[in-house]
C-alpha cells in the first residue's frame, strides 16, 4: 500500500500490534508499509527485548530482523545497539564458524540400480569446496528474507 502512497492510521496501528506480538513479522511488515515513524518503535523494541541466553544459534534471530528493518528504513543501529546485536548474534556466528563448508553428495540409496547412480566424474562436480559464496544481492542464507549485503555480509566481513 505504501507504493501507492496509501497510509492509514488503522493499518499502522495493526502493524504496531503485530510488532508487539511477533517482532520478526512486525518489523518486516513495517518495512513493507514504508512508514518512517516506525523507526522509533523499532529502535524501542530492539532496546526492550531481552537477549536469550544459551547456545541455540537462532534464539535471537529477532535482532537480525529488527536491525534489517531499521537499516531498510534508512537508519543505523546506535553503538549500544550494535554491542547488543553482537552479543545476541554471537551463538549464531560461533555455529557458522564451526560448520564444515565442504558439502558431499548423499550416498546412493540401497536397492537402486547402477543405471540410476551418477558416474564418479559427474558426482565429483556436485561437490563444492571452500566457503559458500553468495552474491551481494542474493537473499541471505539465514532465511531473514533480506539481501545478503544488508544482513550478514557486514558481520562476516568484520
Closest Cα partner for 78 from 127, 131, 40, 37? 40
77 domain-assigned: yes
Which of 54-68, 69-83, 99-113, 131-145 has the lowest average pLDDT?
99-113
Distance CA 12, CA 75 (A): 19
Domain assignment present for 57: yes
Q: Measured between alpha carbons, how far apart are the two ends of the chain, in Å?
A: 36
Full residue range of the structural domain in which residue 14 is found: 2-94
Which residue, among 5, 4, 17, 23, has the nearest Cα to 144 in the 3D structure? 23
102 part of a folded domain: no
DSSP structural state of residue 140: P
Is there a domain that residue 89 lies in? yes
Domain count, the chain: 1
- 139: β partners: 147
pLDDT digits (tens, 9 = 90+) for 78-135: 999 999 999 999 998 888 888 776 655 556 656 555 444 445 444 444 444 445 566 7
pLDDT at 75: 93
Per-residue pLDDT, 114: 46
Q: Tell me, what's the pLDDT at 131?
A: 52
Percentage of the residues of the chain whose pLDDT score is greater than 70? 74
Domain contains 133: no
CA angle 71-32-41, nearest 5°?
55
- Distance, in Å, from the CA atom of 23 to the CA atom of 61, rounded to the nearest integer, reads 10
pLDDT band at 14, cuts 50/70/90? very high
Question: Residue 103's beta-bridge partner residues?
Answer: 128
Question: What is the DSSP code (8-state) at residue 56?
Answer: -
Least confident of 3-7, 8-12, 120-124: 120-124
When computed from its CA atoms, the radius of gyration of the chain, rounded to whole angstroms, is 20
d(CA 146, CA 131): 20
pLDDT at 2: 52
For residue 20, being part of any structural domain is answered with: yes
CA distance 62 to 69: 11
Among 97, 95, 87, 101, which residue's Cα sits nearest to residue 57? 95
The pLDDT, as a whole number, for residue 94 is 87
Amino acid at each position: 500500500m505504501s507504493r501507492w502512497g496509501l497510509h492509514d492510521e488503522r493499518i499502522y496501528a495493526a502493524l504496531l500490534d503485530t510488532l508487539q506480538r511477533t517482532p520478526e513479522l512486525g518489523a518486516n511488515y513495517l518495512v513493507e508499509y514504508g512508514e518512517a515513524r516506525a523507526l522509533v518503535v523499532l529502535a524501542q523494541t530492539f532496546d526492550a527485548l531481552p537477549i536469550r541466553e544459551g547456545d541455540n544459534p537462532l534464539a535471537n534471530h529477532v535482532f537480525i530482523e529488527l536491525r534489517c528493518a531499521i537499516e531498510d528504513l534508512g537508519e543505523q543501529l546506535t553503538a549500544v545497539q550494535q554491542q547488543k546485536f553482537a552479543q545476541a548474534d554471537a551463538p549464531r556466528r560461533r555455529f557458522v564458524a564451526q560448520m564444515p563448508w565442504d558439502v558431499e553428495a548423499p550416498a546412493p540409496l540401497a536397492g537402486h540400480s547402477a543405471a540410476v547412480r551418477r558416474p564418479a566424474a559427474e558426482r565429483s562436480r556436485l561437490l563444492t569446496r571452500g566457503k559458500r559464496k553468495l552474491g551481494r544481492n542474493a537473499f541471505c542464507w539465514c532465511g531473514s528474507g533480506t539481501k545478503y549485503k544488508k544482513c550478514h555480509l557486514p558481520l562476516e566481513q568484520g
